[in-house]
Structure 1
């Protein structure tokens, strides 16, 4: 059992300014991986993602466009648009393309023989103390820094432990390096001169590299204690910032399991804890809850936290003592609860086998709850609202004085984008009225339009704010929660030829293009690339559609884009599997058979084929059955099958975005 000890034993950490030459053999080793990390960890591929993931949404958009092309055979456009479709396929992930190596922790250091993670260079202690003082005194640094798990005083205890001789656990090293990385990054943003700014940036880089080195050398077993739970949560937040949602999921679920093992979700289990320990546990648990529920919906996986098991109440925070994000913790928790319910009641496999009427009723109830939550959030943050309490009004005014009006507006717009995206995801589960003539309900389309408009407004504010906030906004507003509006409007453009909606997509892409900075993480740049390729595909399709519509009536027969043509709505809502092309028929019509679809078995479920392998997609649209054993097997109704197809068929696409497919 001694090999399971999580404490790297060593001398005090060297500072970044100290000599990196260490005498081999002076420190005991932890494991081969921890001593000589010559093999870096690759990002895993083809990892499961479920019903509510962005991967399934984009794959649906790809299939939707292909169906639109191959089901208009009377117009000879398939050859012209084949290259555009292939471009989208490559973006979603094509197995035949050369893939670059993508490391999960690209900045991790290679430890030389005789070194351990306790030998990692640390920032100068003087610089760290200066920034710790800023975290206590500077309003903006105080607001942004280290709200993840610890107070300044508790972080200082970890800091002194790591910088002093003696033992330091993996949790200690993660906490200190992650905390200092964020601290130096925030201090850089408020540094008064370029020299100081560059120094803080350099020290933040040192801590980032240390953090990734520690994460890449973690043992399989870690002790379930408060410090380790906190460090796993901080590791999850760091991976979210890197747009590594699957890695973040691994850490946040570990933190979730540990927190429940420690009884942090249960009032009775903490009955004998000291008040300050109990308060720390409760706050940490709810932070884990918020991020876990969001990632659950983001990746389409079941939550590891059952709401029925939680008996602790959200903490009450006095904004006068801490003007930080904790003042809005209650609203975050409420939104996270709704995110969990959206997955469980609408998009989980169990929900998809329910009758359509039940799903519709659930969706409308969730939409009403989200609408009420949104109204409360607006009244709480509107300083001049007649419904706002005195405390909330004072908090908003103090927040604006600390951060400035622009940053407060950015937060407000970011929340609105996330709320509207969730509205769109909920309304996606409600089929349209037959008279509407589209595959999406009018509520779904309208919420998608509002989300893109809100994003445009936010970007107008962000232009006036420093660049450091751009990646955070893009990650949290567009990528952290499933950004359904873009794919909804993409499909609506393909179906209806709505030029105004195409312009909305173009405005989003145009605004995002200049901010695709080299400093952005690989994951963020890839997902922005996805938006760009989808928009280019829509433009090409619209151009060819317009040209086909302007041809003389006798040139190509009846106009398939007009009322006489087969509507895409009928293809998706009526059981007509013969209209959905198999790879062979698509190839005969000029469409490349290389699609990003996974192979499907006879039941229409994924059989594990990788991108680029062909398979029939017809099963999903012909009343398929989920492959359940025994009496649990149930027929999926048509709308449930179509909804499952939209959110399930190609759940590996997001994993492709985490790899280097393009």
Structure 2
């Protein structure tokens, strides 16, 4: 790519702190696997620990590819023949009734036709931004028609064309220049490319593209209502919708990548889109408004509870902040539910609407767990986030059971905008609870197993989902083997003690990797127990906030694995992705 600013190679998420953690973690896991006297008693445990050691070695590898196709894990199919003029015309005719068109308020058929013509019919080559826009739009159309088109032959052709347009979009992104003049089309194009990058599991590329789009809408003044006084109502609504779409992308990486957004809330004067606006279907507008609100809240969670400055605050101040954020989180969900109750069910996309509601519930409980986990005290081995964590995992499992009949492009969106975007806190909290309570872990082990089974079914949607499944499956295996090892250990000692085991550090094999688990986001309980008591914000005993920062940075490192080329031992049984 010509522009270093758009290249993921410059991502600041991979800083010296992460590299230092990786080096320390690598040594710890090496000692745990190689030197522990109990390790060789369990071959499965050795294999799982070797996998974890290999994972941590990948933390310092910065994703360098700007490819939108999965570079590994999913085999690349041969590129199909380019579209004929008749096929482009057919896509153009069908576009107006599509979901893609409904969710693109800036588009009319004449505008769409002119953009298509500039790429496919004119002698002079279109600039890179126009190509990004057109190929991105065609990717969305072909992905949608590939699942919904009743003409089976044309649906199959659309799926092939989606692969072709991915390759062309990749090339167009690579040709973007360092300085791109700000325009509505450029902002739309970059935001659309960022969304496609997310759907392809390329979060760092999406971050670079969305950051540029965010800078553009600020340059255009779309965050200020005063710049739109002379616009018609519809033109104003189009600009506002573009701003909030870019804002959503810009704030979507605060948890996933620990990235501060370009757009700051204090600088915004434009209102949210009204649910009675004709700019897009009401049911989708409800979900869109909630997504932008939640993404902004997640940025506040990171800034107020997990930033280095926030962790210098007193325990009481941290609890006060967490309480305020929980109130705001509940208010956002209540507003979403109230708005949803006032709009009619979508006649064509009703099932999608239901999945949106369940996806938003997953995001709500995952974010709640992230907030609650910050309210640590030193008196209990039960996390205050445990209830929300369990609920989020169960909702993911139930959503797949209830809606697996929906089209693939809908589930692809759920995978990449919910499963891979939501805080991974629910999984880490539940895992740590199992480690802290190995003699009372049956229900949580079953929940983790159900969640991993769901990921296994969904891994076909992208390379990122394959890795998400593999990561969670390895840790699920580690938890299972650890629980079995603790039970066998107690039996060999002549008794099985059915109570908490906070003094688990020091046991063979598993217990030597506490520092390693902390580095990648699965921190074992610190001495004296882990987070807060039964009351969510109960107890204000002093707690070392540096542990909380390590845990949060570890979660970011863990999500960074999803863009690395991870390998796993064959005896862990991953096999084909089909």
Correspondence for 1:462: 403
1:162 is aligned to 2:119: yes
TM-aligned CA distance change 1:239 to 1:146, over 3 Å = farther
TM-aligned CA distance change 1:273 to 1:323, over 3 Å = closer
Q: Shift in Å at residue 224 of structure 1? A: 1.8
TM-aligned CA distance change 1:342 to 1:459, over 3 Å = same
Counting only pairs closer than 5 Å after superposition, residues 552-631 of structure 1 correspond to structure 2 as: 552-553=493-494, 567=503
Cα distance between partner residues in 1 of 2:321 and 2:279: 40
Cα distance between partner residues in 1 of 2:321 and 2:512: 39
Q: Shift in Å at residue 651 of structure 1? A: 4.3
List runs of 5+ in structure 1 lacking aligned partners: 1-32, 35-40, 110-119, 382-387, 572-578, 599-610, 612-616, 623-636
Q: Shift in Å at residue 227 of structure 1? A: 1.7
1:659 is aligned to 2:533: no
1:48 is aligned to 2:13: yes
Q: Shift in Å at residue 248 of structure 1? A: 0.9
Q: Shift in Å at residue 319 of structure 1? A: 5.9
TM-aligned CA distance change 1:145 to 1:561, over 3 Å = farther
Q: How many residues align?
A: 523
- 1:178 match: secondary structure: helix
- 1:104 match: secondary structure: coil
CA displacement, residues 559-609 of structure 1 (integer Å, 9 cap, x when unaligned)? 89856x6536xx8xxxxxxx8x9xxxx99x9969996888xxxxxxxxxxx
TM-score (norm 2): 0.80
Is the CA contact 2:415–2:458 (under 8 Å) kept in the aligned structure 1?
no
Cα distance between partner residues in 2 of 1:652 and 1:104: 20
Is the CA contact 2:9–2:63 (under 8 Å) kept in the aligned structure 1?
no
1:516 is aligned to 2:459: yes
Which of residues 400, 424, 427 is equivalent to 1:483? 424
Cα distance between partner residues in 2 of 1:94 and 1:170: 33
1:453 is aligned to 2:394: yes
Is the CA contact 2:389–2:425 (under 8 Å) kept in the aligned structure 1?
yes
1:643 is aligned to 2:548: yes
Cα distance between partner residues in 1 of 2:66 and 2:474: 25
Between structures 1 and 2, the one with greater helix share: 2
Is the CA contact 2:138–2:165 (under 8 Å) kept in the aligned structure 1?
yes
Q: Shift in Å at residue 330 of structure 1? A: 3.0
- 1:550 match: secondary structure: helix
Correspondence for 1:242: 200
Which of residues 128, 137, 154 is equivalent to 1:179? 137
Is the CA contact 1:47–1:655 (under 8 Å) kept in the aligned structure 2?
no
Which of residues 462, 478, 484 is equivalent to 1:537? 478
Which of residues 109, 131, 137 is equivalent to 2:91? 131
1:362 is aligned to 2:286: no
TM-score (norm 1): 0.70
Cα distance between partner residues in 1 of 2:148 and 2:543: 56
Which of residues 305, 310, 314 is equivalent to 2:263? 305
List runs of 5+ in structure 2 lacking aligned partners: 72-79, 529-541, 568-578
Bigger radius of gyration among the two? 1
Correspondence for 1:208: 166
1:402 is aligned to 2:348: yes
Correspondence for 2:217: 259
Cα distance between partner residues in 1 of 2:233 and 2:335: 30
Is the CA contact 1:346–1:429 (under 8 Å) kept in the aligned structure 2?
yes
TM-aligned CA distance change 1:597 to 1:104, over 3 Å = farther
TM-aligned CA distance change 1:402 to 1:592, over 3 Å = closer
Cα distance between partner residues in 2 of 1:343 and 1:213: 35
1:426 is aligned to 2:371: yes
Which of residues 202, 223, 226 is equivalent to 1:268? 226
**More contact order relative to length (CA 8 Å, sep ≥ 6):** 1
Q: Shift in Å at residue 220 of structure 1? A: 1.8
Cα distance between partner residues in 2 of 1:335 and 1:524: 23
Cα distance between partner residues in 2 of 1:167 and 1:77: 62
Correspondence for 2:55: 91
Cα distance between partner residues in 1 of 2:7 and 2:234: 40
TM-aligned CA distance change 1:104 to 1:521, over 3 Å = farther
Which of residues 383, 393, 396 is equivalent to 1:440? 383
TM-aligned CA distance change 1:654 to 1:44, over 3 Å = farther
Is the CA contact 1:346–1:352 (under 8 Å) kept in the aligned structure 2?
yes
Correspondence for 1:147: 103
Which of residues 279, 283, 304 is equivalent to 1:345? 304
Q: Shift in Å at residue 184 of structure 1? A: 1.4
Correspondence for 2:240: 282
TM-aligned CA distance change 1:45 to 1:278, over 3 Å = closer
Cα distance between partner residues in 1 of 2:496 and 2:81: 69
Is the CA contact 1:516–1:525 (under 8 Å) kept in the aligned structure 2?
yes
Cα distance between partner residues in 1 of 2:103 and 2:184: 16
Correspondence for 2:250: 292
Q: Shift in Å at residue 650 of structure 1? A: 7.3
Is the CA contact 2:252–2:295 (under 8 Å) kept in the aligned structure 1?
yes
Correspondence for 1:500: 443
Cα distance between partner residues in 2 of 1:457 and 1:144: 27
Q: Shift in Å at residue 402 of structure 1? A: 1.4
TM-aligned CA distance change 1:49 to 1:426, over 3 Å = farther
Cα distance between partner residues in 1 of 2:511 and 2:223: 57
1:528 is aligned to 2:465: no
Cα distance between partner residues in 1 of 2:458 and 2:491: 38
TM-aligned CA distance change 1:377 to 1:278, over 3 Å = closer
CA displacement, residues 109-166 of structure 1 (integer Å, 9 cap, x when unaligned)? 9xxxxxxxxxx985233323323332323xxx2x345725632434333223223323
CA displacement, residues 187-228 of structure 1 (integer Å, 9 cap, x when unaligned)? 122222321211222222221111011112222221122221
Correspondence for 2:536: none
Cα distance between partner residues in 2 of 1:593 and 1:445: 20
